Structure 1
Amino acid sequence: MKKILLGALLAFVSFLAHALQPYFYGDKVPGGDLKTAMAAAEQKLTAAGFTVVGRHTPPGIAGHGSIVVTEPGLTSALTQVGGKAIVGVPIRVGVKADGTVSYLNLEYWQRAFLRNDYGKAEGAVKAAAGKLAQALGSGKPFGGEVKAEDLPGYRYMAGMERFDDKSELKTYPGGFDEAVKTIRDNLGKGVAKTAKVYEIVMPEKKLAVFGVATNDPEDGEGWWVNKIGAEHIAALPWEIFVVDNKAYALFARYRTALAWPDLGMFQFMKIGSHPDSNQGMMAKVAGGAYEGKTQ
């Protein structure tokens, strides 16, 4: 009996200690130029049952793009969880002009986004991850290790933000419809030099998520991503999400660190103005104002 209990304990400890990385490499696709490579990756995804909702080629990050897709089982599971789980519905796939493909490690991202609710969607997460691997190829993980048990409360270091911190952008007196209309209209106008990459709106659940390209040459993706590494292109684009009558965007000291967990402190300091400037852009898209100070 003691051996059985010890074995169970060791297995449990081993599970808790296993580390995850944010991305996987897939099989290379025909390249030569970004358009050709993205089309080849997209064909694989649609053939496997994923729905393409957006394409992103960030200005200033030459030869890199991302494809955003949804998967019906994962979407259904996250919708059932509800609330801020909507942020995990879009699945991002990175593509380079030379044919290199990368994609999200769904377990990593969903453990972080769903936190204590991960178990409610674990089956759907694993099923969607299997479909991704089958469609794109199951290559090595990369991007920096984080222990699985640390992801629900992840923060880059003590004193920095977690999932919920500084994420709320605006409350809308007119409710969900006003929130969606405001964000959609502002992205259409290019407010704060942004553009819409995708939108997923579920009016019956009062949930929505928008992909936001940040095209400002001084503060947008083309500035800060090049400083810390464009290999993590599947981190992009950023998102604004709506739950009932509130809009949110994950704060960059959380969202960027989650996407680049191996980032050195010196690298982070090189983009020190990014968290506040990014949140300022998101707030303007939401029709509000951000009162934080650029560092």
Structure 2
Amino acid sequence: MKKLLLSGVLATLLTSSLMAKDISTYEYANLQSSDAVKTALTNKGFTVVGEYDAMGNPNYHIVAYTNDSLEDSASKENRGFAAVQKVLVDKTDKKLVFTNPEYFLHAFLQDDFKEADAQKINKALSAAFGTLSGSKDALEDDDIAGFHFMMGMPYYEDMIEIAEGSDLLQKLKKNAGKNIVFELKLKNSTLVGVAMPTADGEKSYVTAIEGQEHSAFLPYMILIEGNKAKIMHPKYYLAISYPELSMGQFMTISSTPGDIEDYMTALVTK
């Protein structure tokens, strides 16, 4: 009887392993100008919500976009971060780098993720930009929702509440000023992308891990929901954006999570 039970467990594990598939964190396409990218997105029904030079470097220009499907899926509590996808116009490596909707929506929507919706977005991107090739950075599809870097590190749901109050958006707009990359009003929340051009900001930590090629996850985002402002825990967001990051690389930016939290907190509390 024990042998039969053990065989059944092994068979289940094997089947699960065979069915799991790798989902690339990013997808690549041939280089186009930022204007061409915005036109192509618009022609396929997307709305461009903002753009900026990541790390203050014009060779890494990011265009952020959304559509009705993304906004609808992000309307539930703690799901607002899924409302925006991004594409990096990488003039250094001469390619476009997309945040893979199937990967990031799975991470940010958790149990609300619908694969068909993500694939529909990917199909529209392929129609606009040609065949997309996947990055080496990837996770198995059944590992994305429950991802954390290692034991004791935060999961998606371990967001940091950086402020509480009735005037959070006003404070953010006043304090962040020109560093606001986009502001997207959702059904029950507002998602704001904010550049971090400080000495210990984007340029510092992305270049420290040589992660410029995959800086499409920028800008960092603040979700204002009700009377609370939240950010994804930096130890989570950096790790999910760089799943190939080694412990050694993570240690080189050990102060970064605290720097990000302090910077974002100041924007909504002063």
Q: Tell me how far apart the structure 1 counterparts of residues 258 and 240 of structure 2 sit (CA, whole Å).
A: 16
Match of 1:34 in 2: none
Q: State the SS of the aligned residue for 1:214.
A: coil
Q: CA deviation at 1:209?
A: 0.3
Match of 1:50 in 2: 46
Matched, 1:88 2:69: no
Matched, 1:283 2:265: yes
Residue identity in the other structure for 1:43: T
Match of 1:116 in 2: 111
Match of 2:185 in 1: 201
Q: CA deviation at 1:230?
A: 0.2
Matched, 1:237 2:219: yes
Q: CA deviation at 1:169?
A: 0.9
Q: State the SS of the aligned residue for 2:162.
A: strand
Q: Tell me how far apart the structure 1 counterparts of residues 13 and 139 of structure 2 sit (CA, whole Å).
A: 22
Q: Tell me how far apart the structure 2 counterparts of residues 179 and 60 of structure 1 sit (CA, whole Å).
A: 26
Q: State the SS of the aligned residue for 1:87.
A: helix
Matched, 1:224 2:205: yes
Q: Tell me how far apart the structure 1 counterparts of residues 67 and 203 of structure 2 sit (CA, whole Å).
A: 29
Q: Tell me how far apart the structure 2 counterparts of residues 27 and 71 of structure 1 sit (CA, whole Å).
A: 23
Match of 1:180 in 2: 169
Q: Tell me how far apart the structure 2 counterparts of residues 161 and 10 of structure 1 sit (CA, whole Å).
A: 28
**Alignment of structure 1 residues 209-220 onto 2, 5 Å:** 209-216=191-198, 218-220=199-201
Match of 2:71 in 1: 75
Match of 2:244 in 1: 262
- Aligned identity (percent) is 28
What is the root-mean-square deviation in Å for CA atoms of aligned residues? 2.2
Match of 1:150 in 2: 143
Q: Tell me how far apart the structure 2 counterparts of residues 8 and 50 of structure 1 sit (CA, whole Å).
A: 41
8 Å Cα contact 1:143/1:260 also seen in 2: no
Change (3 A) 1:226 1:162: same
Q: CA deviation at 1:89?
A: 0.5
8 Å Cα contact 1:61/1:230 also seen in 2: no
Change (3 A) 1:65 1:265: same
Q: Flag structure 1 segments of 5+ consecutive residues without an equivalent.
A: 1-6, 30-36, 289-295
Q: Tell me how far apart the structure 2 counterparts of residues 198 and 90 of structure 1 sit (CA, whole Å).
A: 10
1:134-183 alpha-carbon deviations (Å, 9 max, x no partner): 212222211522121121121111111111225211121x3xxx222222
Matched, 1:171 2:164: yes
Match of 1:104 in 2: 99
8 Å Cα contact 1:208/1:243 also seen in 2: yes
Paired residues, number: 259
8 Å Cα contact 1:170/1:283 also seen in 2: yes
1:203-238 alpha-carbon deviations (Å, 9 max, x no partner): xx331100010000x211011111222000211111
Q: State the SS of the aligned residue for 2:154.
A: coil
8 Å Cα contact 2:24/2:100 also seen in 1: yes
8 Å Cα contact 1:24/1:104 also seen in 2: yes
Match of 1:14 in 2: 18
TM-score, length of structure 1 as denominator length: 0.81
Q: State the SS of the aligned residue for 1:163.
A: coil
Once the two structures are overlaid, the 10-residue window that deviates more, 154-163 or 54-63, is 54-63
1:19-43 alpha-carbon deviations (Å, 9 max, x no partner): 21210001222xxxxxxx2122222
Q: CA deviation at 1:104?
A: 1.3
Q: State the SS of the aligned residue for 1:180.
A: helix
Q: Tell me how far apart the structure 1 counterparts of residues 73 and 252 of structure 2 sit (CA, whole Å).
A: 38
Q: State the SS of the aligned residue for 1:263.
A: coil
Q: Which of the residues 235, 246, 253 maps onto 2:235?
A: 253
Q: Tell me how far apart the structure 2 counterparts of residues 271 and 39 of structure 1 sit (CA, whole Å).
A: 34
Q: CA deviation at 1:251?
A: 1.4
